[in-house]
Structure 1
Amino acid sequence: MEVVGRLVGLLVVLLLGTGLRASGVLDTDRTARLNAVAYYVALPALIFVSTYEQAIGQLLSLALFVGLVFVLFTTAGLAWLVHRNRDSSGRQSVAVIQSYHSNIGYLGVPLIAATFEPAVAAIASVILGVVTLAQLPMSVLILSTLNGADAALGPKLRGLAKNPVLLSLLVGLTVGSVGLSVPGPAATGLDAVGSLALPLALLCVGASLEVDLPAIDYGATGAVVALKIVCMPALAWIVFSVLAVDTATFTAAVVMFATPTAVSTFVFAAELGGDTEFASLNVFVTTLLSMGSLFVLISLVG
């Protein structure tokens, strides 16, 4: 029942964000500022607090790395096969990337930190770093190639070097690996700030969701949903069971890959010639339905 209450609370906050946008309280400017607080302050604090007490060797194993890469690229390959005959390149490119590009930063790590023990959150933070470095350039490459858009990977990759989430992960792992101590008051303060990451992220996601019901392509959206929140976590379950990783690693990997499509895919679609209405719809539907699928999954692994 605790899991049910937690996920119902997440759904309420998500819909609250949508309601605040519809009422005009969270307009574009206010949502952008709220998003900046979540992205540049709360989430980095959460990542640092989750990792600063452990060395990287304790968190990132060869089995974890191999499993992450296999699940990500296998799902992307399946998405390519499923969506190869979509009626336009803009819709095809969006369908492919949204079938594997997970919201592991805004929703994955905060959800795990709020639900599981610290060891699971620490591994989830490392998963965030590894998967982000792979899925972001892959999504940009697919969108730009299929849509003929002019997108240089260099600036995107250089932008990763300034990413506050990845920087906080690097700092946290460095502190843990070197064995430095963090003063108690600082750790407590960062922990309090990090606890705001999930509600802020959900408000921002809710305020960013838009749906045009007459334009729904049920077949394409259904395929995206099936691949993202059913196939991908199921594949992760199988792969990490075969790899026989420890319980914390298994839990973190499966739940992270069960998160919905990232809101950033809508931004990439707008920049690189994708079908933005279709992208917005898929973000909304996968986010909404993932509240139920995550409940089932967390109940199974918890």
Structure 2
Amino acid sequence: MNLVAVFLDTLDVTLPVFAMVFLGIGLKRVGWIDQAFVSTASLLVFNATLPTLIFISLIKADLDSTFDPGLMLFFLAATLLGFALSWVWAIYRVPQSERGIYVQGAFRGNCGVVGLALAASLYGDYGLSAGSVLLGLVILSYNTLSVVVLAAYQPGKSTDWQSLGLNILRNPLILAVLISLPFAGFSVRLPDWLMTSGEYFASMTLPLALICIGATLSVKALKSEGSIALGASLMKMVTLPALATLGAWLVGFEGRELGLLFVFFASPTAAASFVMVKAFGGNAGLAANIIALTTLMASITITLGVFVLRVLGLI
């Protein structure tokens, strides 16, 4: 086996994704984009282009080959175990006021952008379709568990569970999955002009979202509360992906299913975690530090992870 060739093939998968993140850093530094652009573009991605991408991917998908109940069940079980492990670790290692932020940062990945982009880069249409199917479960489980742990340590406030539950159900990504199901299940064909227009619109999603992630990174912010942020980042980018991927292999997943699970588990902390921490009145600075550090680490840890799995012949 030519390890150099395998490594170069791995870079072909991961570098296009992270190059867009670093492009966002560069564009922000030279002043070509600003915070107003990032805020507007992020809202456009979350509310419109990403739901459109998920909808189109699902209605075009061959659900017989992309809908895998076993894979979804394993992802949910591994997510719950990772969430529990992070919480137990935080009880013994993290100050009480920061535990909810630590736990959310340690288990909640940016699967909707980074994970989906890597899945598409690895496996093309299958990665995009299967990743979109899995994303519905990701969104529901991540949002629900984040609400639980942040509410448990919310400083001096009572939690409006009904309002939070409605906000989760109104999530545009969840709605995109639910709306697409009857179209996919009954093979409803949309007019060609509508599909083409939708694909043009959806094609903006991944590059625009990745550029926004890069533009929001702040290395200076990492100077404060570095030890807690580093601990959560190592849990998110090293410990949990390694344990979850090993567990997936032990129960029989291999090939593209194992690769899909790995890139979803190994995705850096979701930017939405910052918004949720602010909504709960927590330490938003710590949340931002975790997002920044995991995103910077991802270009190394994910590339090495894909390389090792390929060398071992597992994906």
Calculate the TM-score normalised by the size of structure 2: 0.85
- CA positional deviation for 1:178: 0.6
> Residue type of the partner of 1:125?
S
Aligned partner of 2:224 in structure 1 is: 215
Aligned partner of 1:291 in structure 2 is: 299
- In structure 2, distance between residues paired with 1:150 and 1:60: 39
Kept in 2, the 8 Å contact 1:35–1:201? The answer is: yes
Q: Indicate which of 55, 76, 81 corresponds to 1:48.
A: 55
- In structure 1, distance between residues paired with 2:284 and 2:96: 12
- CA positional deviation for 1:22: 4.4
Stretches of structure 1 that go unaligned for 5 or more consecutive residues are none
- CA positional deviation for 1:237: 1.7
Could you give the per-residue CA deviations for residues 65-100 of structure 1, whole angstroms, max 9, x where no partner exists?
321121111111111122214553332221111110
2:150 maps to 1:150: no
Aligned partner of 2:5 in structure 1 is: none
User: More deviation in 258-267 or 63-72?
Assistant: 63-72
Aligned partner of 1:183 in structure 2 is: 191
Task: Return closer, same or farther for 1:246/1:9 CA change in 2, 3 Å cut-off.
Answer: closer
2:235 maps to 1:261: no
Aligned partner of 1:240 in structure 2 is: 248
Aligned partner of 1:73 in structure 2 is: 80
Aligned partner of 2:145 in structure 1 is: 138
- CA positional deviation for 1:289: 0.8
- CA positional deviation for 1:177: 0.8
- In structure 1, distance between residues paired with 2:184 and 2:265: 26
Stretches of structure 2 that go unaligned for 5 or more consecutive residues are 1-7
Aligned partner of 1:62 in structure 2 is: 69
> Residue type of the partner of 1:275?
N
Aligned partner of 2:281 in structure 1 is: 273
- In structure 2, distance between residues paired with 1:156 and 1:58: 34
Kept in 1, the 8 Å contact 2:58–2:129? The answer is: yes
> Residue type of the partner of 1:215?
S
- CA positional deviation for 1:261: 0.4
- In structure 2, distance between residues paired with 1:248 and 1:7: 15
> Residue type of the partner of 2:36?
D
Kept in 2, the 8 Å contact 1:124–1:252? The answer is: yes
- In structure 2, distance between residues paired with 1:271 and 1:189: 35
Kept in 1, the 8 Å contact 2:127–2:260? The answer is: yes
- In structure 2, distance between residues paired with 1:155 and 1:55: 36
- In structure 2, distance between residues paired with 1:184 and 1:248: 30
- In structure 1, distance between residues paired with 2:298 and 2:263: 11
Aligned partner of 1:113 in structure 2 is: 120
Other structure's SS at 1:83 match: helix
Task: Return closer, same or farther for 1:224/1:49 CA change in 2, 3 Å cut-off.
Answer: same
Could you give the per-residue CA deviations for residues 255-284 of structure 1, whole angstroms, max 9, x where no partner exists?
111100011111112221322222111101
- CA positional deviation for 1:18: 3.0
Other structure's SS at 2:91 match: coil
2:97 maps to 1:95: no
- In structure 2, distance between residues paired with 1:259 and 1:34: 21
Aligned partner of 1:32 in structure 2 is: 39
Kept in 1, the 8 Å contact 2:277–2:284? The answer is: yes
Task: Output the aligned Cα RMSD.
Answer: 2.4
Paired positions, count = 301
Consecutive aligned runs of 4 or more in structure 1 exceeding 4 Å deviation: 22-25, 55-58
Aligned partner of 1:161 in structure 2 is: 169
- In structure 2, distance between residues paired with 1:242 and 1:70: 14
Could you give the per-residue CA deviations for residues 27-86 of structure 1, whole angstroms, max 9, x where no partner exists?
332211111222223212221222113465653433223211211111111111222145
- CA positional deviation for 1:25: 4.3
Q: Identity, % of aligned pairs?
A: 23
2:131 maps to 1:124: yes
Calculate the TM-score normalised by the size of structure 1: 0.89
- CA positional deviation for 1:6: 5.0
